[in-house]
Amino acid sequence: MRTFIAVDLDKEIKNNLISLLDKLKKKGENIKWVRQQGMHLTIKFIGEIKEEKISEIEKILRKISEGHKPFSLKIIGTGFFPHEKKNPRVLWAGVEADETLASLQKELESDLESIGFPREKREFHPHLTLGRVKAPSVWETISELQKYKESTFGEMIANKITFFRSILKPSGAEYIILSEHQLK
């Protein structure tokens, strides 16, 4: 099963981002937009696991959640990856958080590595994926996206981390909560 660990977003933030997507959708058709259900801050993509690994991962999540306090998240700005190329692949909204998020993410990487899951090679840049580019020539959409590069889409207190299962379907990914872990 395909899995990842994330912070789910407050409904108000999701609604603000959906309003943004409604504006962006008018500009381009070559983008697969994230649905409201898929709006979350991924802390660690684990990938395919066997069912036997669930309890080991949940044990780590319990330990980590007990060692970290709730933290504030601010969803601010927009952009795209990669920056240096002419053909962007991901459109995103930015995330500002205190050092708790970075600390939690580093500990998660380390603890999951200890049970056989490799560390992410790229540096952690918290962001919310808004859409994935399916074909080149999305510059009209990028131009519209850039209008929001300093906009704020909401703030929240992240008080739990969620272990998700992702089922890929032609209509889009379906997300199932395996477990939630309250930050202390």
Considering the candidates 68, 83, 125, 127, report the single residue annotated as catalytic: 127
Locus of tokens 């969620």? 162
Cα-atom radius of gyration of the chain, to the nearest Å? 17
Which letter, b or e, does each residue of 36-58 get, where b requires 16 or more Cβ atoms within 10 Å of its Cβ? eebbbbbbbebeebeeebbebbe
Catalytic residue selected from 40, 83, 125, 181: 40
40 is annotated as an active-site residue: yes
| C-alpha dihedral (31, 105, 48, 178), degrees to nearest 10 | -90
125 included as an active-site residue: no
Neighbours of 169 (CB within 10 A): 8
Residues annotated as catalytic are: 40, 127
